């Protein structure tokens, strides 16, 4: 009788890593950022170097392709990771559909100032509510022309350029991009997605299939790699997401993301 190899019954799997970029200048100042192209702060650079990269190195994860948005804080985080992992040759694919949620006329304002004006409940509804859309950005907003005339958005199709978005609208925008990435993952490509906070939450909903109510309570800390494993035969998710790194640090930073702050 032919000997049956155990490997015949082993499930073929592949991993996907979702990583929120390091803190930007606007994150440090606790401002709504959205589609404003704020660069990484010095602290954000250090987050990538001291939080994300050691966690990825310790897990011995390697990548064939990286996805980022067209915003510099996303791309810069991806470049730092690849450089320090000695794989700067890995291609970075930029996609406008992976841009942060557009915060409309809240863009550029400190969250605490907006909370003092409109109340914390309203601000948390704008930040976390699934269908709550902030006021659209107006020409009087100091970032209106900077955003609308930025050439990094040249690939946004006519009629698709948002002036404000709810979480739900961001989830819908991200979906076709995620479907394309998932096909790469299921073909065996080792993918890292360097994205934004709300985009990471959108991906969590698409990947984990959680409800609209549940995603409102999900908070993603900066530079903490979130690892998913997929069955290459069925395309299904295996187990739960794993956040790499010091768990106490992750809990503390997650709570900071949830809060409005000072």
pTM for the whole thing? 0.93
Condensed to tens digits (0 to 9), the pLDDT of residues 119-176 reads 999 999 999 999 999 999 999 999 999 999 999 999 999 999 999 999 999 999 999 9
Which residues are CB-neighbours of 157 under 8 A, at least 6 positions away? none
Calculate ∠ Cα 192-170-259, nearest 5°: 85
User: Which two three-digit tokens encode residue 63?
Assistant: 């990548």
Condensed to tens digits (0 to 9), the pLDDT of residues 166-215 reads 999 999 999 999 999 999 999 999 999 999 999 999 999 999 999 999 99
pLDDT at residue number 260 = 66
**Ranges of each domain in the chain:** 13-258
**Residue from 160, 154, 175, 177 nearest 102 by CA:** 160
**Catalytic site residue from 100, 165, 168, 196:** 100
pLDDT at residue number 21 = 97
Note the helical H segments in the chain: 25-28, 42-47, 53-59, 72-84, 111-118, 120-128, 144-148, 167-186, 197-208, 212-215, 247-258
β-pair partners for 237: 230
206 is catalytic: no
3-state DSSP: the chain helix, strand, coil percent, rounded to 5?
A: 45, 15, 40
With bands split at pLDDT 50, 70 and 90, how would you rate the model's confidence at 63? very high
Q: Label residues 145-177 b or e (16+ Cβ within 10 Å = b).
A: eebeeeebbeeeeeeeebbbbbbbbbbebbeeb
pLDDT at residue number 7 = 43
Condensed to tens digits (0 to 9), the pLDDT of residues 19-48 reads 999 999 998 899 999 999 999 999 999 999
**Residue from 156, 155, 185 nearest 66 by CA:** 185
**Residue from 202, 203, 201 nearest 219 by CA:** 201
> Whole-angstrom Cα distance, residue 118 to residue 162?
23
- Whether the Cβ atoms of residue 136 and residue 184 lie closer than 8 Å to each other: no
- pLDDT at residue 1 greater than cutoff 60: no
Condensed to tens digits (0 to 9), the pLDDT of residues 219-251 reads 999 999 999 999 999 999 999 999 999 999 999
With bands split at pLDDT 50, 70 and 90, how would you rate the model's confidence at 9? very low
- pLDDT at residue 5 greater than cutoff 80: no
pLDDT at residue number 259 = 82
Q: Which helix (H) or strand (E) holds 17?
A: strand 13-20
With bands split at pLDDT 50, 70 and 90, how would you rate the model's confidence at 258? confident
Q: Determine what percent of the chain is predicted with pLDDT higher than 70.
A: 95
pLDDT at residue number 10 = 59
42 is catalytic: no
Note the helical H segments in 151-196: 167-186
- Cα distances (angstroms) measured from residue 153 to each of 37, 147, 182, 202, 230: 11, 8, 24, 20, 32
Better pLDDT: 59 or 10: 59
**Residue from 201, 256, 252, 209 nearest 226 by CA:** 201
Feature table: binding site: 20-27, 73, 100-103, 111, 127-128
Better pLDDT: 215 or 9: 215
Q: Maximum Cα–Cα distance for the chain, whole Å?
A: 80
pLDDT at residue number 134 = 97
CATH superfamily, domain 13-258, is Phosphoglycerate mutase-like (3.40.50.1240)
Residue whose tokens read 């592949």: 14
**Half-sphere CA count of 85, side-chain side, radius 13 A:** 26
> Whole-angstrom Cα distance, residue 120 to residue 128?
12
- pLDDT at residue 261 greater than cutoff 90: no
pLDDT at residue number 11 = 65
């Amino acid at each position: 009788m032919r000997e049956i190899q155990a490997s015949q019954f082993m499930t073929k799997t592949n991993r996907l890593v979702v990583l929120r970029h390091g803190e930007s200048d606007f994150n440090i100042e606790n401002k709504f950022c959205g589609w404003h192209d704020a660069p990484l702060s010095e602290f954000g650079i250090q987050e990538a170097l001291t939080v994300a990269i050691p966690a990825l190195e310790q897990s011995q994860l390697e990548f064939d392709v990286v996805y980022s948005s067209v915003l510099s804080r996303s791309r810069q985080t991806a470049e730092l990771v690849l450089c320090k992992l000695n794989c700067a040759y890995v291609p970075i694919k930029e996609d406008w559909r992976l841009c942060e949620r557009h915060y409309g006329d809240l863009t550029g304002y400190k969250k605490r100032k907006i909370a003092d004006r409109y109340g914390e409940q309203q601000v948390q509804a704008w930040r976390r509510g699934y269908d709550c859309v902030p006021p659209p950005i107006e020409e009087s907003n100091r970032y209106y022309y900077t955003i609308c005339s930025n050439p990094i958005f040249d690939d946004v199709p006519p009629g698709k350029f948002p002036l404000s978005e709810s979480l739900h609208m961001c989830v819908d925008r991200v979906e076709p991009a995620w479907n394309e990435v998932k096909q790469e993952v299921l073909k065996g490509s080792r993918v890292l997605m360097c994205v934004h906070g709300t985009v990471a939450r959108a991906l969590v909903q698409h990947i984990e299939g959680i409800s609209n109510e549940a995603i409102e309570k999900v908070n993603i800390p900066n530079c903490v790699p979130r690892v998913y494993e997929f069955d290459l035969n069925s395309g299904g998710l295996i187990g739960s997401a794993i956040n790499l790194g010091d768990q106490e640090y992750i809990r503390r930073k997650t709570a900071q993301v949830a809060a409005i702050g000072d």
